[in-house]
């Protein structure tokens, strides 16, 4: 069985400050890991993904995430956020064929 936990439902942060959105997973098989973003009134789009290889993955819009197998985590980071990063962020895990999304973290960037 697989599960995904996003520990923070909301994260407020000031513009130009760094941010980390946390994601932990559990799985009995090897997994692929994803972060998706959903801007207000828009569909989900892929930010980045980890399939294999380097544990540090870089995505669009300056985001990156690090796969930590021992801690079963895949936290998302950005060194300096912009107002336009305000959105809902979803972590997802895929193992075998099942695809499971976390409950989401609402990032609110404050001016």
Partner 1 sequence: EAGVAQSPRYKIIEKRQSVAFWCNPISGHATLYWYQQILGQGPKLLIQFQNNGVVDDSQLPKDRFSAERLKGVDSTLKIQPAKLEDSAVYLCASSPGRGETQYFGPGTRLLVL
SS3 at position 18: coil
Q: Provide the minimum distance between the beta carbon of 16 and partner 1 in the complex, in angstroms, as a whole number.
A: 28
Asked if residue 65 lies in contact with residue 37, where contact means CB atoms within 8 angstroms, the answer is no
Q: Is 101 in the site for partner 1 (CB under 8 A)?
A: yes
Q: Is the dihedral of CA 15, 16, 18, 20 positive or negative?
A: positive
Q: Is 60 in the site for partner 1 (CB under 8 A)?
A: no
Choice between 19 and 47, CB closer to partner 1: 47
Applying CB under 8 A, which residues contact partner 1? 32, 34, 36, 42-46, 49, 90, 94-104
């Amino acid at each position: 069985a697989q599960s995904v936990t996003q520990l923070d439902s909301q994260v407020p942060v000031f513009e130009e400050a760094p941010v980390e959105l946390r994601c932990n997973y559990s799985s009995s098989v090897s997994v692929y890991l994803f972060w998706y973003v959903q801007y207000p009134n828009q569909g989900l789009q892929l930010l980045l993904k980890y399939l294999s290889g380097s544990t540090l993955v870089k995505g669009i819009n300056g985001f990156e995430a690090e796969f930590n197998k021992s801690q079963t985590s895949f936290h998302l980071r950005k060194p300096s956020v912009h107002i336009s990063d305000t959105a809902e962020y979803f972590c997802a895990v895929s193992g075998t064929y099942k695809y499971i999304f976390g409950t989401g973290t609402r990032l609110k960037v404050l001016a």
